[in-house]
A and B are shown apart, each in its own frame.
Chain A
């Protein structure tokens, strides 16, 4: 009996080690299986997404209402297409809402800010947000500024 308890605890120990490794793989290094329950997806096309990555947050007036699930290049329009999961209790985004890519702090991560419009109809699963504003890329700004200085 003593040997049996010992074997069981050793088995549990090795199992815990394997689970820890799986946890490191999935949770920490991001081989992620995300769950999308209780959320609906809307899309937006951006000219330039800057440093936006999947799992970045989607906010409205600074309150997190969802997260970015996918960033891909749209083959037809040749711009970036971003898929966002919005919590299902936020079902009052009008169809003329606008999405812009913002930066948290000076060097912080980038996220999407949504501003609602005046339309009566609401965004459904799979809809596109038409009115978008790209990320501010610091180098482009500096470039424009320098160009203006020279041309003056």
Chain B
């Protein structure tokens, strides 16, 4: 009986956490806009979240594109259709890998940092001090970070995709000797701007929303001790990775699947 009660309490706790997450989202985003105050904060967060994530995104995009080119070539050359490697690299990058891998890296690089930063602000009572002097911490701390994450992930994803395609082209054209005209022609014939590129971008927007939301909420809701912050950071990475992969399946089924 105790077990049952424990299970019920856990479930209710999770439900309450969901509710708090929704309330934080609502309270930080729905308010009178104050562009003069908010804009510098927002730019600063784009710098910390987006610009500083650029290196890891570019390097991993390059290597993933190169690996795709190499793997695709070794398989396709058996069927004498190694020209299709461009198509394979571009489609898998634009549709799947760019949004998903960017979101996973983003959760590890920027999401965990967001959680730790906000959690430490809470532990050192900076958030309560803000409230004391009459500044809403949700508006001042959470909202710019949230918007920055929301804007940055699609940009990073687009950069990831283009760098990956060029990585694939370096391997297949320059090293493996595929004729570059057919590499690009096959790619351009099969990749559709609206169906593939824009849908990939929509995925990145959704992931940006979810990952930043989870990161910000975990930070704001953490137990204000050093242990609590470490737990919250772990949760951010785990939950956002799971959410990204699960949502990716749903989005893919809606966009490309026949479900």
B residues less than 8 Å from A20 (CB atoms): 155, 158-159, 161-163
Q: A38: CB under 8 A from chain B?
A: no
Partner of B80, one of A9, A25, A67, A105: A105
Q: Give B201-222 interface residues, CB cut-off 8 Å to A.
A: 201
Q: A56: CB under 8 A from chain B?
A: yes
Q: How far is the CA of A56 from the CA of B94 in the complex (A)?
A: 23
Partner-binding segment picked from A26-34, A74-82, A92-100, A142-150: A26-34
Q: A90: CB under 8 A from chain B?
A: no
Residues of B within 8 A of A (CB): 40, 43-44, 46-47, 50-51, 54, 79-81, 83-84, 90, 94, 152, 154-156, 158-159, 161-163, 165, 179, 181-182, 184-189, 191-193, 196-197, 201
Q: A23: CB under 8 A from chain B?
A: yes
Q: How far is the CA of A28 from the CA of B155 in the complex (A)?
A: 17
Q: How far is the CB of A130 from chain B (nearest CB, A)?
A: 25
Q: How far is the CB of A73 from chain B (nearest CB, A)?
A: 19
Q: How far is the CB of B24 from chain A (nearest CB, A)?
A: 25
- Whether B181 lies near A56 (C-beta < 8 A) is yes
Q: How far is the CA of A20 from the CA of B164 in the complex (A)?
A: 11
Partner of A21, one of B47, B158, B181, B184: B158
- Whether A17 lies near B154 (C-beta < 8 A) is yes
Partner-binding segment picked from A42-50, A106-114, A117-125, A133-141: A106-114
Q: How many residues of A contact B (CB 8 A)?
A: 35
Partner of A29, one of B43, B84, B185, B191: B191
A residues less than 8 Å from B47 (CB atoms): 6, 9-10, 13
- Given A9-B47, A10-B50, A29:B197 Cβ within 8 A: yes
The residue of chain B having its C-beta at the shortest distance from the C-beta of A17 within the complex is B155
B residues less than 8 Å from A27 (CB atoms): 162, 165, 184, 188
29 pairs of residues in contact across A and B, judged by CB atoms under 8 Å: A10-B51, A13-B46, A13-B47, A13-B54, A13-B152, A13-B155, A14-B155, A17-B154, A17-B159, A20-B159, A20-B163, A21-B158, A21-B197, A21-B201, A24-B161, A27-B188, A30-B184, A30-B188, A30-B189, A32-B188, A53-B189, A64-B181, A67-B185, A105-B80, A105-B81, A107-B79, A107-B80, A107-B81, A109-B182
B residues less than 8 Å from A127 (CB atoms): none
B residues less than 8 Å from A57 (CB atoms): 179, 181-182
Q: How far is the CA of A127 from the CA of B43 in the complex (A)?
A: 58
Partner of A28, one of B54, B179, B197, B201: B197
Q: How far is the CB of B77 from chain A (nearest CB, A)?
A: 10
Q: How far is the CA of A29 from the CA of B197 in the complex (A)?
A: 8
Q: How far is the CA of A53 from the CA of B159 in the complex (A)?
A: 29
Interface centre among A21, A24, A31, A106 (most CB of B within 10 A): A24
Give me 17 other A-B pairs in contact (C-beta within 8 A), A9-B51, A108-B81 excluded: A10-B46, A16-B155, A17-B154, A20-B163, A21-B201, A24-B94, A24-B193, A27-B162, A28-B191, A29-B196, A30-B187, A30-B191, A55-B184, A56-B181, A57-B179, A64-B179, A64-B181
Q: A3: CB under 8 A from chain B?
A: yes
Q: How far is the CA of A29 from the CA of B194 in the complex (A)?
A: 9
The residue of chain A having its C-beta at the shortest distance from the C-beta of B189 within the complex is A53
Q: How far is the CB of A5 from chain B (nearest CB, A)?
A: 9
Q: How far is the CA of A106 from the CA of B155 in the complex (A)?
A: 40
B residues less than 8 Å from A105 (CB atoms): 79-81
Per CB-CB distance, the 10 closest pairs between chain A and chain B, nearest first, are A30-B188, A17-B155, A105-B80, A55-B185, A20-B158, A29-B193, A20-B162, A29-B191, A20-B159, A23-B162
